[in-house]
Amino acid sequence: MMRIGLGRDLHKLAEGRRFLLAGVEIPFTKGEAGHSDGDVLAHAVIDAFLGAAALGDIGEFFPPDDPAWKDADSMELLRQSWEKVKAKGWRLVNLDCCIICEKPKLLPYREKIRASLAAALDTDIGAVFVKAKTGEGLGSIGEGNAVEAEAICLLDAQRMHPKQ
């Protein structure tokens, strides 16, 4: 059986914060604000595979008002969440992502971001893709005040559990 999952996230961009996409630090004047490290792409990917497996969402697993997750490494949260999905018998078929931000240009970092996601998900880089778009100057993203990420994934059941 196959299942599809969708995740998305939006973070404000603020000075004095690191700009992280799937754990890859992008040199820029601003970075994602957030309770955790703010890694918008990691958060979207977590919600995509948790949703595909119908296990919950990132806010349930790692509540943003819980001090335990203050400045948390989102890629560590991703690895922990993925372990839960794998334990239910799911494997990743593929993951596709889109990052929307006005600046900086992300193409030079695309392969590093793909490799980081593939390593965390213990899969081949060929099963992971990442694209970048701008906000065309419109709205909070276009004005450079926010970054958004969307992720969609397909899971395949290696073994089925009763009632799943």
Task: Report the distance separating Cα 40 and Cα 84, nearest Å.
Answer: 20
Q: State the Cα–Cα distance between residues 50 and 103, nearest whole angstrom.
A: 29
Binding span for Mg ion by CB under 5 A among 9-17, 21-29, 76-84, 150-158: 9-17
Interface size with Mg ion, residues (CB under 5 A): 2
Q: How far is the CB of 72 from Mg ion (least distance, A)?
A: 11
Q: Which of 7, 20, 42, 43 binds Mg ion (CB under 5 A)?
A: 43
Give the distance between the most distant pair of CA atoms in the chain: 51
CB 127 within 8 A of CB 158: no
* CB 105 to Mg ion: min, Å: 22
Give the interface segment with Mg ion, choosing from 35-43, 77-85, 101-109, 154-162 (CB under 5 A): 35-43
Q: Given the DSSP bridges, would you call strands 30-32 and 146-157 parallel, antiparallel or unpaired?
A: unpaired
Cα angle vertex 9, ends 5, 14, to 5°?
160
Site for Mg ion contains 9 (CB under 5 A): yes
Minimum Å gap between C-beta 43 and Mg ion is 4
Residue numbers at the binding site for Mg ion (CB under 5 A):
9, 43
